[in-house]
Structure formats: structure tokens, C-alpha cells
Chains A and B, each alone.
Chain A
Amino acid sequence: DTAVSQTPKYLVTQMGNDKSIKCEQNLGHDTMYWYKQDSKKFLKIMFSYNNKELIINETVPNRFSPKSPDKAHLNLHINSLELGDSAVYFCASSQVLLQDVGQFFGPGTRLTVL
């Protein structure tokens, strides 16, 4: 069984479009995250939700809007896509916020903006 799943795995779209990436975890974790990995493989946190409440909101353009309908899901909606948004986006989850139990990452969504 997949612990953290993301859809779609690949997303190719034109500049200016709006797109969403979905994430689900079946680990029963309280906290979920979105990370962006750029072309140089640098990983940076974007958002974190704990029990559907936004906990971490990094300096991310407000074109990016996370939504957590329940504890097991965290979706990422991106408006007016730009070339610089091309990256791999990873969803992750952890059991309890602030605890060193490790974060479990999904397989990633490769977003290409043309």
C-alpha cells in the first residue's frame, strides 16, 4: 500500500493556466507538507498543515494555495502558472508536528510550464 500518494505524477501545462496537485496519506499522520525541488535538486518547504490547520507558510507567491479538506489530504492549487514554477513538488507527512519521527515523502509531481 502506498503511504503517501500524489496525482498526477507528471503535469505539463501552458503559462497562465491554473492547475492542482492532489496528495493523500494513509499513515494516520497529523501533519502534512508541500515541498518544492528545483532543477538543482534543492528542497524547500512551502507549506505545512497540522490537523487541517495551516502551520507553516513560507514566502510563497499567493498564486499557490494549499487546501486540506481532512487530515489525510493536502492539495496544492496553483493559479496563473509561470515558467519559474517548473519543478518537482513533493507532498510529505509526519506523525506528530515537532517530533523527530521523520517525514514520509510522496513520489513527487513533476510540473513543467511551457
Chain B
Amino acid sequence: QQQVKQSPQSLIVQKGGISIINCAYENTAFDYFPWYQQFPGKGPALLIAIRPDVSEKKEGRFTISFNKSAKQFSLHIMDSQPGDSATYFCAASSNTGKLIFGQGTTLQVKP
């Protein structure tokens, strides 16, 4: 119930391509779904977040798509760049304030 399942574990995309990472959850009490980006040797940094009352949120090249009925959400990175190469984590939380993280996706964008 408390898990957030993330896929794929790793992803290789050509520069300019679209990177797509998917997450699924079970707990319907979750009401906040952020994505974090982590570079090697650094702490995770908030990238973009969504609430379940909207189906999509876009910030620059990053878009979250949210499907409440399917309990799934995904991150799309348009025009992927080598500088986007990092580990991406989806997460979910409810009113407890506790973030439950997915397993992470290592993205490599090839020049």
C-alpha cells in the first residue's frame, strides 16, 4: 500500500529524444506527487510536482502526466539533453508529510 513502483530502472535516450519514466501507486490517500532529480554525489532536487486534481503539469521541457483512475503518473522530458543525465525519482505523499520514493531511474542521454 505504501509502495511507489517506478520503471524503467535505466533508460538510454539520444540527444533530442523524449525520455519517459513511469510510476504507479496503490495508496489512494496520496495527494502530492513530486519528481526529484539527483546527480552523482549530490542530494536529490525537486524538479516538478503535481496534485491529483490536474491531469498534466508542464515546466519547460519537463511534463508530468497524471492518471488518477489508473493510479499512475509519468515524467516526460522533451528534447532530452546530455545535461539531463541523472537519476530520477518519483515520490508520493499524503497528509502525513512522509515522502515515499520510487526505486529510481538512471537516465543517460547520448550526444
Contact A45 B42 (CB under 8 A): no
How many B residues touch A, CB cutoff 8 Å?
Answer: 24
The CA-CA distance from A105 to B43 in the complex, in Å, is 5
Whether, in the assembled complex, B32 has its beta carbon less than 8 Å from a beta carbon of chain A, the answer is yes
Contact A102 B97 (CB under 8 A): no
Contacts of B97 in A (CB 8 A): 31, 48, 55-56, 97-98
Contact A106 B34 (CB under 8 A): no
- Select which of B42, B46, B89, B106 is within 8 A of A108 by beta carbon: B42
Closest to A94 in B: B97
Contact A100 B104 (CB under 8 A): no
Contact A45 B51 (CB under 8 A): no
The CA-CA distance from A98 to B42 in the complex, in Å, is 25
Interface positions of A from 57 to 114, Cβ below 8 Å from B? 58, 90, 92, 97-98, 100, 102-108
Contact B42 A102 (CB under 8 A): no
Q: How far is the CB of B31 from chain A (nearest CB, A)?
A: 9
Chain A: residues with CB nearer than 8 A to chain B? 4, 31, 40-45, 48, 55-56, 58, 90, 92, 97-98, 100, 102-108
